[in-house]
Chains A and B, each alone.
Chain A
Amino acid sequence: MLTNTAVKYRLWENRKALIIFYLIIYLVMIASIIAVSSVNEVITLNGLEFASMIFIFIVGLEFSEPFQMLLQNGCSRKTIFLSFVYSIIPIATVMALIDGLNGILMNQFTNYENMFLQFYGPRFTEAVGVMQFIEGFLWSLTAYTMVAIIGLFITALYYRMNKQMKWIVSIGVPAFFMIVLPLIDTSFFNGAIIEGIGKVLDFAWGYQNGYNPYFSMISCILFSVIFGSLAYSLIRRAVVRD
């Protein structure tokens, strides 16, 4: 019962930001439609879902304030974590649905291509079909959920770390992936590591299997479970800061 209240609180907490976000998106859409119809050239529009991903990532990053508010109101850390998961799924569902419908709407006026079609376009022969909409919706739902949970993991990690560790991770992780790993890869493995990572991502993204979005949906669910578990392991020992 307390979990239900905590979920309700989290949904309430995010509703205003969600409304403002989609007001901006609709303004952008209207401006785009006007701009496209006022010129004779062919303008390609795409990627409004990327804004949704950033938005839901930021929702995931919101940790400290809801954590303290829920702890103040007698919620255990398990309830706090579950309330996040249970609230992010409906938010991601609503966003995936709105974005799918927005894609269809934009397609009526422009040659808009949503993110799903950019990734998995070769799979479809029809312009907009029911199956395409459903698959696009499911893909967005799993991707948004994963992005939000990664956001929660990052913010929980930073919440738990001391100042020194924050510096080490903030500099160390990007430095490892951008400098150390490529250096080791080219010096000792002749590019095999990066190539291997690329192949794994291609597989996870369904590109090795005829642009199959279900591979990426499963990958997103798997990553959500992994990062969710890591986030919970950090949250379950988190304490308030005085």
Chain B
Amino acid sequence: MKGIETQNLNKTYGEVCALQDINLKFENEKIYGLLGRNGAGKTTLLNLISNRIFPSSGEVQVDGETALENDNAQRKIYMMGEKNYYPQGMKIRQIFKWTQEFYPSFDMDYALNLAEEFGLDITKRVKALSTGYASILKLIIALSVNIPYVLLDEPVLGLDANHRQLFYETLLRNYDEQPKTFVISTHLIDEVANVIEDIIIIDQGKILKNQPCEELLSQGYTVSGNVATIDSYIADKEVIGCDSLGGLKTAYILGTVNKGQLPAGLEVSKLDLQKLFIQLTK
């Protein structure tokens, strides 16, 4: 069995239940978006998969073998966490060298090229990096390790718009050239919406949605037009949110659109993932 699978996974901290009965499967060579509000349990889930913390009960399997305390399973996973676990006094070049030792499939030339593209000075020490460059360092490693499962927890933390754009482009290029499973946990839903194939939404430690992005977005649509027409059109619809600007209004609606009944002057487009997320996790 290929992929990462969680079975009845639970994690509690004292009285607090961080994750409850999580049954998930991350299939091979897919890009997943792991979405959830602060404290929903995203990082806990990724930490459990990468053996950084222990489950209260349940199991994580990687390609059919347990992920818990298993070198063989963990060598197939690279976890880019929010916190930096590389020694503060170590130089970037040394980190690349040691990553290559631990992950023999690490592509040093690719990493050095990416460092140049992102403007990361490889002679610097970890402690000298800003939040953004610390994220870039981990992103470069994550994109260069060439292993089946790459978990990215808040990958664009501290990155400016240019670097974020460069990251998404590089990620897609990397996936295209060497397909692997990426799990991206982020709050920047709009930015990641065009990158991810499947969406997993976690809310208060439980899985709320787990389906392909297209399928989820096909559960609704967006209409835009003048305020009066929109107000009249949405009166009997399940509206999950509205935006107004001057005389124009945009409404986000659950359900399927019947284009024949659509009043003139209204424009229909795809549902906005962020609006849907906000509605689902309210």
Interface residues of A (CB under 8 A from B): 2, 5, 8-9, 13, 65-66, 68-69, 71-79, 236-237, 239-240, 242
B-side contacts of A78, CB under 8 Å: 69
User: Are B101 and A242 neighbours in the complex by a CB distance under 8 Å?
Assistant: no
Q: How many residues of B contact A (CB 8 A)?
A: 26
Query: B135 within 8 Å of A by Cβ?
Result: no
A-side contacts of B54, CB under 8 Å: 237, 239
**A66 and B81 alpha carbons, distance in the complex (Å):** 17
Closest Cβ of chain B: how far from A82's Cβ, in Å?
A: 11
Which 5 pairs across A and B sit closest by C-beta, in order of nearness? A73-B102, A68-B85, A74-B74, A72-B85, A76-B69
User: Are A77 and B101 neighbours in the complex by a CB distance under 8 Å?
Assistant: no
* Given A79-B71, A237-B54, A239-B53, A73-B83 contact (CB < 8 Å): no
Query: B65 within 8 Å of A by Cβ?
Result: no
**A76 and B73 alpha carbons, distance in the complex (Å):** 10
Query: B10 within 8 Å of A by Cβ?
Result: no
A-B contact pairs, 19 of them (CB 8 A): A5-B101, A9-B98, A65-B88, A69-B86, A71-B51, A71-B85, A73-B99, A74-B75, A74-B77, A74-B103, A75-B71, A75-B102, A76-B70, A76-B71, A79-B71, A236-B69, A239-B53, A240-B83, A242-B43
**A8 and B101 alpha carbons, distance in the complex (Å):** 9
Closest Cβ of chain B: how far from A50's Cβ, in Å?
A: 27
B-side contacts of A73, CB under 8 Å: 98-99, 102-103
Residue of B nearest to A75 (CB): B71
B-side contacts of A74, CB under 8 Å: 71, 74-75, 77-78, 102-103
20 new A-B contacts at CB < 8 Å, known A74-B77, A239-B52: A2-B102, A5-B102, A8-B101, A68-B86, A71-B51, A72-B85, A73-B102, A73-B103, A74-B71, A74-B74, A74-B102, A76-B51, A76-B69, A76-B70, A76-B74, A236-B69, A239-B53, A239-B54, A240-B47, A242-B81
Closest Cβ of chain B: how far from A5's Cβ, in Å?
A: 5
**A107 and B146 alpha carbons, distance in the complex (Å):** 56
Name the interface residues of B57-104: CB closer than 8 Å to any CB of A.
69-71, 74-75, 77-79, 81-83, 85-88, 98-99, 101-103
B-side contacts of A8, CB under 8 Å: 101
User: Are A75 and B74 neighbours in the complex by a CB distance under 8 Å?
Assistant: yes
User: Are A72 and B86 neighbours in the complex by a CB distance under 8 Å?
Assistant: yes
User: Are A240 and B53 neighbours in the complex by a CB distance under 8 Å?
Assistant: yes
Closest Cβ of chain A: how far from B79's Cβ, in Å?
A: 7
B-side contacts of A69, CB under 8 Å: 85-87, 98
